[in-house]
Copies of this chain bind each other. A is one copy, B any other.
Amino acid sequence: MPRAAIYTFAADHGIAGEGVSAYPSAVTPQMVLNFLRGGAAVNVLARHVGAEVRVVDIGVAYDFGPMPGLIGRKIAAGTKNFSVEPAMSRAEAERALLVGVELAAQAAQEGIGLIGTGDMGIGNTTSSAAITAAVTGTQVAVVTGRGTGIDDEGYRRKVAVIEQALARHRPNPHDPLDLLAKVGGFEIAGLAGLIIGAAGHRIPVVLDGFISGAAALVAAALQPLCREYMLASHLSVEQGHQAVLRHLDLNPLLDLDLRLGEGTGACLGISLVQGSLKILTEMATFDEAGVSERER
């Protein structure tokens, strides 16, 4: 049975300063510490399914110092506020992407045979909605959800912020690095690289929810063959996820009204994938079990 690992990429978002999230950016590093202590939902579900959680700081706005268990690959202390300037430079987008590619290569070397994606980053549904709207050509309001649970006023602000940012930066939907640089996030770029790297090593990737979905859109835009290595673990409540899965032509395994991210849905999906593999490898054939032929 292939060993499974969930990669949870964490990063902060300058756009969070625009009041698009119900929680402050301080929650991103707090949750990273929670992941490292094993107390978060992703840790519980990963233990439940026998997978490992690997936490990557690719852009959290907090200096963790040396921290056992944390994979430190910080590109910058959060993105810039993309309502006023690009989220990152094109060079940073490229570096963030390569972090994921490198981690996938290491996973392959260690014999990891199944990779799950996960994310943490206050503000990242805003970035994911911007990417999804640009790539799929869907209206912003259709792909923008409530994230961690903003109220009606916050929701209207979130939609307006994304619409204005897309109008201001005009990211090229056919140039994924341009898209990442203008409205992306470091964790989304890292996850896109992870997916590309995993596919390159023929490792199936079990996608989590909406943020992982935005990363999958970027990965598939860079290399369409990645799509063949993607499995959608679940359909998120975050409404933009539907447009993502439709665009990628993926059927989610689960539809359980989840919307937590972290890699929680990926854990559940990994268990289903491993169960299917066991059916293929452990189940007796009718011949082996001495079961009679069909009639006539």
The interface residues of chain B lying within 8 Å CB-to-CB of A33 are: 289-290
Nearest CB to that of A274 among chain B residues?
A: B48
Q: Are B289 and A23 in contact (CB under 8 A)?
A: no
Q: How large is the interface on A (under 10, 10 to 19, 20 to 34, 35 or more residues)?
A: 35 or more
Chain A 19-45, CB within 8 Å of chain B: the 1/0 string? 101111011001101100101110011
Q: Are A39 and B268 in contact (CB under 8 A)?
A: no
Q: How far is the CB of A286 from chain B (nearest CB, A)?
A: 9
Contact of A45 among B253, B279, B288, B291 (CB under 8 A): B279
Nearest CB to that of A151 among chain B residues?
A: B296
The interface residues of chain B lying within 8 Å CB-to-CB of A255 are: 255
Chain A 38-56, CB within 8 Å of chain B: the 1/0 string? 0111001101110000000
Contact of A27 among B21, B284, B291 (CB under 8 A): B291
**How far is B286's CA from A149's CA once the two chains are assembled, in angstroms?**
15
Q: Are A44 and B283 in contact (CB under 8 A)?
A: yes
Q: Are A22 and B294 in contact (CB under 8 A)?
A: yes
Q: Are B253 and A256 in contact (CB under 8 A)?
A: yes
Q: Are B23 and A278 in contact (CB under 8 A)?
A: no
**How far is B24's CA from A288's CA once the two chains are assembled, in angstroms?**
18
Q: Are A24 and B284 in contact (CB under 8 A)?
A: no
Q: Are B288 and A23 in contact (CB under 8 A)?
A: no
Q: Are A39 and B284 in contact (CB under 8 A)?
A: yes
**How far is B268's CA from A253's CA once the two chains are assembled, in angstroms?**
12
Q: How far is the CB of A180 from chain B (nearest CB, A)?
A: 27
Q: Are B27 and A283 in contact (CB under 8 A)?
A: no
Q: Are A22 and B289 in contact (CB under 8 A)?
A: no
**How far is B289's CA from A267's CA once the two chains are assembled, in angstroms?**
21
Q: Does A249 interact with chain B (Cβ within 8 Å)?
A: no
Q: How far is the CB of A234 from chain B (nearest CB, A)?
A: 11
Q: Does A152 interact with chain B (Cβ within 8 Å)?
A: no
Nearest CB to that of A30 among chain B residues?
A: B291
Q: Are A284 and B23 in contact (CB under 8 A)?
A: no
Q: Are A40 and B284 in contact (CB under 8 A)?
A: yes
Q: Are B34 and A289 in contact (CB under 8 A)?
A: yes
Q: Does A272 interact with chain B (Cβ within 8 Å)?
A: yes
Nearest CB to that of A252 among chain B residues?
A: B255
**How far is B22's CA from A44's CA once the two chains are assembled, in angstroms?**
44
The interface residues of chain B lying within 8 Å CB-to-CB of A21 are: 295
**How far is B283's CA from A47's CA once the two chains are assembled, in angstroms?**
11
Q: Are B23 and A294 in contact (CB under 8 A)?
A: yes
Chain A 247-267, CB within 8 Å of chain B: the 1/0 string? 000000111100000000001
Nearest CB to that of A16 among chain B residues?
A: B295
Q: Does A292 interact with chain B (Cβ within 8 Å)?
A: yes
Q: Are A44 and B291 in contact (CB under 8 A)?
A: no
3 closest Cβ pairs, A-B complex: A39-B284, A34-B289, A44-B282
